[in-house]
Structure 1
Amino acid sequence: MLDGEGPLHRQVERGLRGAIRSGRLIHGSVLPPSRELAVQLGCSRWAVTQAYGQLVAEGYLSTRVGSGTWVSWSGRTSGAVQATGPVAPGSTYRFDLTPGIPDLRAFPRTRWAEAASEAARALPTADLGYPDAAGYPPLRELLADYLQRSRGAVAGAGDVVIRTGVRAGVAHLCTSLRAAGVDRIGVEDPGWTRLRDVIESTGVQAVPVPVDSEGLRVDALGRQQDLRAVAVTSAHQFPTGVVLSPARRLELIDWARRTNGLILEDDYDAEFRYDRSPVSTLQGMAPEQVVLLGSVSKTLSPAIGLGWYVVRGPWRKSLTRSIGPGPSTFDQATFAALLRSGAYDRQLRALRRRYQSRREQVVAAVRRELPGWSIDGAAAGLHLIARLPDGLAAAPVLAAARGAGIRLVALSGYRARAGEDRDGLVLGYGNLADGDVDAAVRSLARVCALVCESAR
């Protein structure tokens, strides 16, 4: 790298610039700490920091405290490269461990096509007109039956409203709540960031409420003045993976009854529990205080764009007013055919076996390759929490992982407020191929070893 021409910091600068331009250092590559590179080159640390600083100013490198220095220039001419963090070349990843995506390979293409064909043939001519805003009536009836037998909900066809997904349902509910004078809603912290964004987009304030090992802190919720609504993931909290404890379930329902409040229960992946039967819905315990939300995003595919909410009691009229258009009638009729035939139940049984096996694989690989780490969260859903050992921060791990082609998310990324507990990684395994599990965790272990070595 050093060519012997001029001051040492200029030699380091030219050497790095040349390596980047030639492609020997690719976009997203994480560079060694200045102290380590100085030792490797036999020069002063000052020379390296000066070179890094110059290349950052020129746009070849980017840096962030706690995340190191990485190559942000890719040589592409079509648009600027955002230097928000190192990414794998071409924005592709060898291993995607982000949560929330089901196994897209498992989508029942043939059965869906058959059901779509069946629905198109059987759909009455009258149903080809403008649809019922609340949803296709046969699907609402079938969903009410499914939610009662599988999730312990209390629902009739008239209580079910079909939407394009949970976010669309929350957006409509929050708009209706605001019109009814409710302009603040409690949200879990840490929690689903997109849900907070949806709530805020309606003009309703999302108020963070802490989560601990028993789920939502109902005592903290009660200290929020004039708060009459809260959104929870009670069966499997996202992202911590805890299940709302029996005592907290009763406390939360009592809070709603005392305040004439409303609970929005997001039942996003409750079908997937591996060590026991999943807990039933809060809605089944207090149907007039709880709105139950769900979708097929985790059980089939988010691309379908089909979800629902169930609302009863005194809130029903205000929360079902001015409903906009929902999903295509053909998609609703197709899903209805899957429910009617039992194909949806069979799909869920197959997915439970698949995800349980994959979770066990991930747990075994983490314990083998990352022995200082601990695993949190119920044996459920499509993700788990891998807690980092003391002395290892998430930010440099994420940065180095991107450079190595591994896509990760830190638990802290879901917090509205800074947490005091150990940070961790939210490892999603839903869309990770079984044959990639061991390789992905081994790659993560190598990344962590390099980060630890660089920090010495």
Structure 2
Amino acid sequence: MSEPMVRGSRASGLDLHLGPVGEAGRNVRASLMDAFREAIRTGRLAPGTRLPPSRLLAIDLGLGRSTVVRVYSELINEGWLTALHGSGTEVSRRSAELMGRRGRPRVPAARPRLLHDLRPGYPDLSSFPRDEWIRAVKRTVSNAPFEAFGYIDPHGRSELREVVARYLARARGLQTHADNVVVCSGAAEGLRLVAAVLANAGVTKVAIEEFCLHTQRPALLKAGIEPVLLPVDADGADLSALDEIPDLGAVLLTPSHQFPLGVALQSDRRAAVVDWARRRGTLIIEDDYDGEFRYDRSPVGALQGLDHDRVLYLGTASKSLAPGLRLGWLVVPDRLVGSIVAEKGWAEDSVGFVNQLAMTDFIESGSYDRHIRAMRAQYRRRRQQLIEAINRTCPTTRVTGMAAGLHIILEQPGRSGAELVRRAAREQLAIEPLEMFRNPGSTSDRDGVAVGFAAPSASGWSGALDALIRTLQ
């Protein structure tokens, strides 16, 4: 079927001002890609600009959604755009690297097609428990009360909040009650809500780890909060300078498994940061993005278990199930629940009741625990295969990160992370440079790549592993 032509009155692209993308005789997809490149090249779409969802842009331009999805995907592969974990698409912050000295795009003449995805933070979507989830959806939709089909409480369905509270107490050691759980659409949206509430309360500075998920710093800046960097060493975030930072209102940590460096916050530092929060009357934001996946021992309990009044917990089903479910939860101290719910009520679309009730059933039936156990065994096996292959074939490569999560860090003498990423691209392999997660102002000289081992399907794992070994040799 041929591509639909663009209607002239809808060519602006949701205020993106992309210009006409359907000139006679031109392929619509190619025209749209050129329009995006031109908008980025001229600065009309600046690095970090959030783009509309593919569905909305397709409607606005009068195109098929598959066309826009393909354009986004190809521009991501070229480096013009970046796919945010659980948070949409934005103009790449490294897009300037694609410009020539005169500001003209350097589009590769023959861009390699990526066959293998070893980026960090992506679960094996092919292992999503479809049958169990479908049964959960059918049961919950069939039995849902009529009121469930109406407008959704921004606090979240009470059924889900109750089972999440019980699950987190059992599996992660939290001290919580259903009233403290707020359902959200993922960790990124959860942090945005928290940042907005802190800013409204007068917080101007939040400490973050010098390496972190690249959505954290923008979320704080967007709320008008200044991020202050904490060094990270083998014992986790170095918290020794907290008392020396004036006007610090909170600290954001990944204590169970630091992202991306893969270390745990040691027990003395866990106790110290809780003491600091109590003494200063401040808040700890705990991002527990993959806390269920520890392979050498039982998972370390969440920091929130040490003080439910000073730690706000961020959790998500993105790593344990799938990011496309758009399911996350905040466990909020009593004094902040009302503010978080109020902020969510007017600023965010709620998670649909079907997924909320299906997740309730999924946890209550034991399917969630069974799935996590199965994936924990699979990821443990893959991690071991990956490390053994590297040690056998590339002995000079340094492997770091504890036996947890969905990725490891690799460092090679004489090769930068950027070079390894380029070598991987020639093998049609996607990995991420450590530099991507370094916050501006960091003094660390660490370099390398973050390599995931979860995303490939069972049939694609061996090919991805072989491509990585060729990259490292």
TM-score per shorter chain, which class? 0.7 to 0.9
The one-letter code of the counterpart of 1:395 is A
Could you tell me which of 111, 130, 134 is aligned with 1:113?
A: 134
Residue 366 of structure 1: aligned partner: 390
Provide the C-alpha distance between the structure 2 equivalents of 1:335 and 1:85, rounded to a whole number of angstroms.
Answer: 44
Residue 162 of structure 1: aligned partner: 183
Task: Tell me whether 1:392 sits opposite 2:393 in the alignment.
Answer: no
Q: 1:435 to 1:158 in 2, by over 3 A?
A: same
Given that residues 86 and 403 in structure 1 are in contact (C-alpha distance below 8 angstroms), is that contact kept between their aligned partners in structure 2? no
Residue 452 of structure 1: aligned partner: none
Moved more, 434-443 or 223-232: 434-443
1:107 Cα deviation after fit: 0.3
The one-letter code of the counterpart of 1:392 is R
Residue 326 of structure 1: aligned partner: 350
1:315 Cα deviation after fit: 3.4
Provide the C-alpha distance between the structure 1 equivalents of 2:151 and 2:280, rounded to a whole number of angstroms.
Answer: 39
Q: 1:265 to 1:448 in 2, by over 3 A?
A: same
Q: Which has the higher contact order (CA 8 A, sep 6+)?
A: 1
Given that residues 376 and 386 in structure 1 are in contact (C-alpha distance below 8 angstroms), is that contact kept between their aligned partners in structure 2? yes
Provide the C-alpha distance between the structure 1 equivalents of 2:269 and 2:323, rounded to a whole number of angstroms.
Answer: 31
The one-letter code of the counterpart of 2:362 is L
**Secondary structure of 2:215 counterpart:** helix
The one-letter code of the counterpart of 1:409 is E
Task: Tell me whether 1:427 sits opposite 2:451 in the alignment.
Answer: yes
Residue 264 of structure 2: aligned partner: 243
Given that residues 210 and 442 in structure 2 are in contact (C-alpha distance below 8 angstroms), is that contact kept between their aligned partners in structure 1? no
Q: 1:374 to 1:182 in 2, by over 3 A?
A: same
Whichever of the two has the greater Rg, that structure is 1
Given that residues 88 and 402 in structure 1 are in contact (C-alpha distance below 8 angstroms), is that contact kept between their aligned partners in structure 2? no
1:130 Cα deviation after fit: 1.5
Q: 1:438 to 1:338 in 2, by over 3 A?
A: closer
Residue 414 of structure 1: aligned partner: 437
Residue 400 of structure 2: aligned partner: 376
Could you tell me which of 355, 364, 367 is aligned with 1:343?
A: 367
1:448 Cα deviation after fit: 4.3
Aligned positions, number? 372
Q: 1:72 to 1:177 in 2, by over 3 A?
A: closer
Provide the C-alpha distance between the structure 2 equivalents of 1:83 and 1:405, rounded to a whole number of angstroms.
Answer: 19
Could you tell me which of 205, 224, 232 is aligned with 1:184?
A: 205
1:207 Cα deviation after fit: 2.0
Q: 1:85 to 1:253 in 2, by over 3 A?
A: farther
Residue 61 of structure 2: aligned partner: none
The one-letter code of the counterpart of 2:311 is V
Given that residues 228 and 256 in structure 1 are in contact (C-alpha distance below 8 angstroms), is that contact kept between their aligned partners in structure 2? no
What aligned pairs does 1:220-369 form with structure 2 within 5 A after superposition?
Answer: 220-324=241-345, 325-369=349-393
**Secondary structure of 2:168 counterpart:** helix
Residue 35 of structure 1: aligned partner: none
Residue 405 of structure 1: aligned partner: 428
The one-letter code of the counterpart of 2:271 is L
Give the % identical residues: 36
The one-letter code of the counterpart of 1:247 is D
1:365 Cα deviation after fit: 1.1
Given that residues 204 and 225 in structure 2 are in contact (C-alpha distance below 8 angstroms), is that contact kept between their aligned partners in structure 1? yes
**Secondary structure of 2:344 counterpart:** coil
Given that residues 257 and 289 in structure 1 are in contact (C-alpha distance below 8 angstroms), is that contact kept between their aligned partners in structure 2? yes
Given that residues 180 and 318 in structure 1 are in contact (C-alpha distance below 8 angstroms), is that contact kept between their aligned partners in structure 2? no
Residue 159 of structure 2: aligned partner: 138
Normalised by the size of structure 1, how large is the TM-score? 0.77
1:405 Cα deviation after fit: 1.0
Runs of at least 4 residues off by over 6 Å: 70-73, 84-87
Given that residues 127 and 457 in structure 2 are in contact (C-alpha distance below 8 angstroms), is that contact kept between their aligned partners in structure 1? no
**Secondary structure of 1:294 counterpart:** strand
Provide the C-alpha distance between the structure 2 equivalents of 1:368 and 1:147, rounded to a whole number of angstroms.
Answer: 39
Given that residues 186 and 206 in structure 1 are in contact (C-alpha distance below 8 angstroms), is that contact kept between their aligned partners in structure 2? yes
The one-letter code of the counterpart of 1:155 is T
